[in-house]
Amino acid sequence: FAVCLGLFELVFIVTAIMAQPTMEEIFKPFMSQPVQDKAYVRLATANIGAVIMPFMIFYQQSAIVDKKLSPKDVHIARVDTIVGSFVTQGIMCAVIITTAAAVWEKEGPRNLNSIEEIADVFSTHLGEEAGKVLFSMGLLGGALVGGLVVSLTAAWGLGELMGLRRSLEYKATEAPGFYLTYTLMIAFGAVVAIMYPNPIELEVFVEILNALLLPVVLGFLYVLAYKALPEEHRIKGSYALGVAILFSLCCGVALYLCILETIDAAV
């Protein structure tokens, strides 16, 4: 059900096309990064944490184990990951393009500080009622999928740590610890989301935390891929060097922006 609702996010791609931005309008902002702007640094840091989420790495390895994939399934698993990465980031870019185009068309650049304001933006291209309904469905679907992923990650991780049965193939009576952890995580997330006064501020904070944890997670992931895997599956040579450079760039930018965010918060 959550995945079906998440498909409504594809409407964002349609709205991005309807906005009809030129290539110059899309790529010109890349040439001028206002790193002196505190709000920009904060959102840039959060954006890194939103794109490369540490818990997603744990989720994927647990999901692969739960699906009982073997070494012969590595290729299809990689294709699945690559396709999913492009689709999700394509949707994210579509949301940014749609929002930017609509805001500039109406009244020029301004901050969007609530879900209601963001929903109003999508009414520009889809009409008031259709825009709000489709945006709400896409947002709800994405939130449900995200909630399932985070909760399953915690349940799988704690189950592995404590030596409990941990698989969706088991019934609740066969793996009570797994399903209890899963349920408690969903309940905890719901309570925090309801009690926190500003959901956008909460989201940005969580994504900044993701960016801060990124070097630790990617560092361990690289060590595992370089040393711990069976010899035939280890990353080697130029490929290993390329991955190391890419990981270092991601972690370096994340740490740099986190430091700037910390300095700005302290001033």
pLDDT of 194 strictly over 90: no
Exposed/middle/buried for residue 95 (C-beta within 10 Å: 0-12, 13-18, 19+): buried
pLDDT of residue 145: 81
Euclidean distance between CA atoms 210 and 55, whole angstroms: 8
User: Taking 80 as the threshold, does the pLDDT of residue 252 lie above it?
Assistant: yes
Rounded to 5 degrees, what are φ and ψ at 198? -125, 100
pLDDT digits (tens, 9 = 90+) for 163-181: 888 888 888 888 888 899 8
Instruction: Assess whether pLDDT exceeds 90 at residue 5.
Output: no
Say what the pLDDT of residue 244 is.
92
| CB distance 3 to 140 below 8 Å | no
Q: 200-244 pLDDT, tens per residue?
A: 788 888 888 888 888 888 888 899 889 888 888 888 999 999 999
H helix runs in 20-127, sequence order? 23-27, 38-51, 54-66, 74-106, 115-126
The mean pLDDT value for 101-111 works out to 67
Predicted local confidence at residue 238, as pLDDT: 93
The pLDDT of residue 52 is 80
Residue 90 confidence (pLDDT): 87
| Longest CA span, the chain | 59
Residue 110 has pLDDT above 70, yes or no: no
Mean pLDDT estimate for the chain = 82
In this prediction, residues 182-186 reach a mean pLDDT of: 88
Q: Which residue has the tokens 């702007």?
A: 37
| DSSP-derived 3-state class of residue 167 | coil
Model pTM score = 0.74
pLDDT, mean of residues 57-71: 84
